Amino acid sequence: MADKYIKGFINPLAFLEVDSPWAPMGDAKVSVEAILNYICPTTNPDTLIAKYKEISIENPRLNIVPAEDRILEKLIWPLKHAKASYMLGNPLGTISLCGMVAEMVAILYFDISDTKINGEKIDEQKQKLLFGCKFEKLGQERRIRTLRFFNIISQETEDKFHKIRNIRRKYLHLWSQDHQRVSTDSIEIFKATTSIVAEIIGQDFIDGRIKINPSILRYLEKTGTYEPED
């Protein structure tokens, strides 16, 4: 029987300039170019800038956001890393991070809402009675439909949430999904995610002043990030 051969990659995950026996030791430094070569397919600045411009078509833009730790950690910096992932040739990273941000936005929408049943706020105890668990522990599809049921979000926003969820699901959960449209889909999910983040923050400029979603202002007041004028 004749031998058969397959093509293969040797050490596909290795950073050879660090892992190999001849890697720099002591005071020797690994070059920035070597690091970039490991992180992304190209180190050509023009190519990297072109990729950045491809995904920088979000509308509306996030011009200013509250400097509150949880908002920055859960929404803003992950979105920045999602954008950088596309720039570095990692559209799956973009999709994954956008999916995470959308889940955080859904939870935040519910947390800052003044939703009541029989005139009483839906606290954690009532959430467990109503949903079987806290709202944040629900699956994303049920979170979205719950937000729409209580009229916390509009139909248009619900559609954006479902678009994000569907793109994320097919790439991160389905083996059968090919990657022919992964770059296009990563741009689409980034646009939709940035849109719902801008919407919940409610950024706007009126008469030279920044207008923020009143519900977010109440949240910022609770966290001590915002103090209303006397």
Determine contact, residues 200/157, Cβ cutoff 8 Å.
no
Domain edges within the chain: 45-223
Bridge partner residues of 169 (DSSP): none
Mean pLDDT score of the chain, rounded to an integer?
A: 90
Instruction: In whole angstroms, give the CA distance from residue 96 to residue 210.
Output: 31
This prediction's pTM: 0.89
Determine contact, residues 143/113, Cβ cutoff 8 Å.
no
Answer whether residue 213 shows pLDDT above 90.
no
Calculate the CA 58 to chain-centre distance.
Answer: 13
How far are the Cα atoms of 47, 69, 167 from residue 145, in angstroms, in the given order?
Answer: 41, 28, 17
Q: Is the pLDDT higher at 227 or at 47?
A: 47
Over residues 144-163, the mean pLDDT reads 97
Specify the pLDDT at position 224: 79
Answer whether residue 218 shows pLDDT above 60.
yes
**To which H or E segment does residue 176 belong?**
none
Among 154, 163, 9, 47, smallest CA distance to 95 is for 163
Q: What are phi and psi of 16, to 5 degrees?
A: -60, -35
Answer whether residue 138 shows pLDDT above 80.
yes
Answer whether residue 77 shows pLDDT above 60.
yes
| 200 Ramachandran zone, left/alpha/beta (phi>0; psi -120 to 50) | alpha
Among 157, 158, 184, smallest CA distance to 170 is for 184
Model confidence pLDDT, tens digit, residues 113-127: 988 888 888 999 999
pLDDT tier, 111 (very low <50, low <70, confident <90, very high otherwise): very high
Model confidence pLDDT, tens digit, residues 41-56: 888 999 999 999 999 9
pLDDT tier, 28 (very low <50, low <70, confident <90, very high otherwise): low
pLDDT tier, 25 (very low <50, low <70, confident <90, very high otherwise): low
Specify the pLDDT at position 160: 98
Instruction: In whole angstroms, give the CA distance from residue 149 to residue 137.
Output: 18
- Residue 64: HSE in the Cβ half-sphere, 13 Å Cα cutoff: 8
